[in-house]
Amino acid sequence: MKIASYNLNGIRARLPRLVEWLGREKPEVVCLQELKCADEALPIGDIEAAGYGAVWHGQKGFNGVAVLARQDTPKLRRMGLPGDPDDTHSRYIETEVGDVIVASLYLPNGNPVGTEKFDYKIRWFERLAAHSAGLLEDERPVVLAGDWNVVSEDRDVFSVRATQHDAVMQPEARNVWRRMVNSGWTDALRALHPDEPKLYTFWTIPPAAGSAIWASGSTTCSARPRRRTGCGGRASTSGRGRRKRPATTRRRGWSSPRASADRCGSGGSHGHWGARRSTAFPCCPPESSRTHRLLFRTSRLLRGGCTRSS
């Protein structure tokens, strides 16, 4: 089973890219994050026309998660996490696809540290950990996939020094992650690449106006991906030529963006983007991060491979 995690940052704006990617990669299951649309506004007709059924938990302008299944419709198990009836954020949806439980999650970013946003992040993470313990007790194949917003190890980030004060690097969040992994969950990436020192799962989206990076390709691109590494293997990209960095991304120690999607080779649809700080990627501070991980309960799921996109 090919399972992908994809942070859309707005499904209506990215719908053509999503449909294009679904047609090319044909994953059996897709976990979407940051739909940023109300339930009634989800373009379900276009998704079904692409050959996928879907269940979703939307929120106008913010958050939003969904699970898609090819030639099938996931069976909804729950929306939201237990433990806080006043939580209105659409960040968790749990489904069944065949005999596998699949959940799509969007863990709170938590910045700035020391504010209510960070406290909410940790509370939400603790609720997820408590709920995941119950899933382990079911003795069924389970996948928790999505944007985790936690850098579990120093080797996952391009620069520890540049990210040390970010919420994704704080020990409180790392401790919850480690407790979950130690309780019986398996980090899919590390299971397949246990000794890879450059397996980046923390990367950035530049804030330059009119530009974006999407793993499925885009008309403009403002950074150069040097390398992609997915659960199933490795791929590389390269480009030629440079342009000056826009004023919105000027900061010492951050490298210059790229001008076009074809130059940066952004035709790939999965894998973990990453680069050393000396390369042209990333080109913005870590506040614009995406951190995808996939936890699963049984090693049997590794046979089909796994991917992540954003």
245 vs 277 pLDDT, higher one: 245
pLDDT tens-digit map of 160-188 = 898 899 999 999 999 999 999 999 999 98
Q: Nearest Cα to 147, choosing from 2, 279, 289, 36?
A: 289
> In whole numbers, what is the pLDDT of the chain averaged over residues?
74
Specify the higher pLDDT residue, 111 or 216.
111
- CA dihedral for 215, 217, 223, 227, sign (positive or negative): positive
Domains in the chain, ordered, with CATH?
A: 3-200+285-309 (3.60.10.10)
pLDDT at 16: 96
Q: Say if residues 117 and 111 touch (Cβ distance below 8 Å).
A: yes
Looking at the chain, the whole-number percentage of residues with pLDDT higher than 70 is: 65
Q: What is the average per-residue pLDDT within 68-84?
A: 97
**Residue recorded with tokens 């049984």:** 298
Residue 235: what pLDDT? Answer: 28
Identity of the amino acid at 245 = R
Read off the pTM: 0.71
